[in-house]
Amino acid sequence: MANQRFIDRVAYVTGAASGVGRATAQHLAAEGARVLTVDLNEAGLNETVESIRKEGGTAEAAICNVADSNSVRDSVARAVSAFGRLDILVNAAGAGRTLRFEELDEAEWHRVIDVNLTGAFLTMKAAIPHLLAQPGGNIVNVASIAAMRGQAYNAHYCASKAGLLNLTRSVAVEFASRGLRANCICPGGIKTPFIRNFIPRDDFEKNIVAYYSPPVPHQLCEPTDVARLILFVASDDAKYMNGAALVSDGGTLA
């Protein structure tokens, strides 16, 4: 029998139409959680929810722009209305692509910051009052190893993920005495369509791309590998973990 660590718990998962968000929603539901799946991709969300229900799990979908405060508040309210509570927030929505710094304009800068950093701020702002009402309430933000060192051609993405990491740490410290945990997952490359946005171009300097590539060429983890790590952090198995940044990158940083 599979672990059932999330019986009677409710989770809100962003970026749930595909990739890590979808895998996380599926794994949470498989372990007993009721899940509100959130994304702008309605078709992808419906596929996620259908896959969960097919396996006997409980899930609902909410179209939401994480960079819009009203949209976020409405979707968090829907989770609480549908399921009566909120125990876990997972921020897996993400945006980014490789660009030379000279090519990076304000619109692209704001697009990436708005999703990766402001989006997490807004979901945490809306969810924390509900998370505080439950014992063991916690937040898991999906950052990146890009939060932990500079990467050429990824200035906006690195800035957004580094900001997310320290935002998470700040929230972890501020709410620790009130029983709320907040942690970050910092993966390397993941086998999702999103990784195509980070394929080095021919005009990039190969030597400065190579230093942040996996030690084994083309070694990328699966979305389910990251999802399992998220579930560990969100579970009572990690109840003393707070303000942590868990790296899962196949040795890239090493």
Q: Which residues are catalytic?
A: 157
CB-neighbour burial class of residue 58 (10 A; exposed 0-12, middle 13-18, buried 19+):
middle
Long-range contacts of 212-217, Cβ-Cβ distance < 8 Å, separation of 24 or more: 212/145, 212/149, 212/151, 212/152, 212/252, 213/252, 214/188, 214/189, 214/249, 214/250, 214/251, 214/252, 215/250, 215/251, 215/252, 215/254, 216/250, 216/251
What value, to the nearest 5°, has the Cα angle with vertex 64 and ends 178 and 26?
A: 75
Order of all β-strands in the sheet with 10-14: 58-63, 34-39, 10-14, 88-91, 138-142, 181-187, 245-248
**85, 127 Cβ separation under 8 angstroms:** no
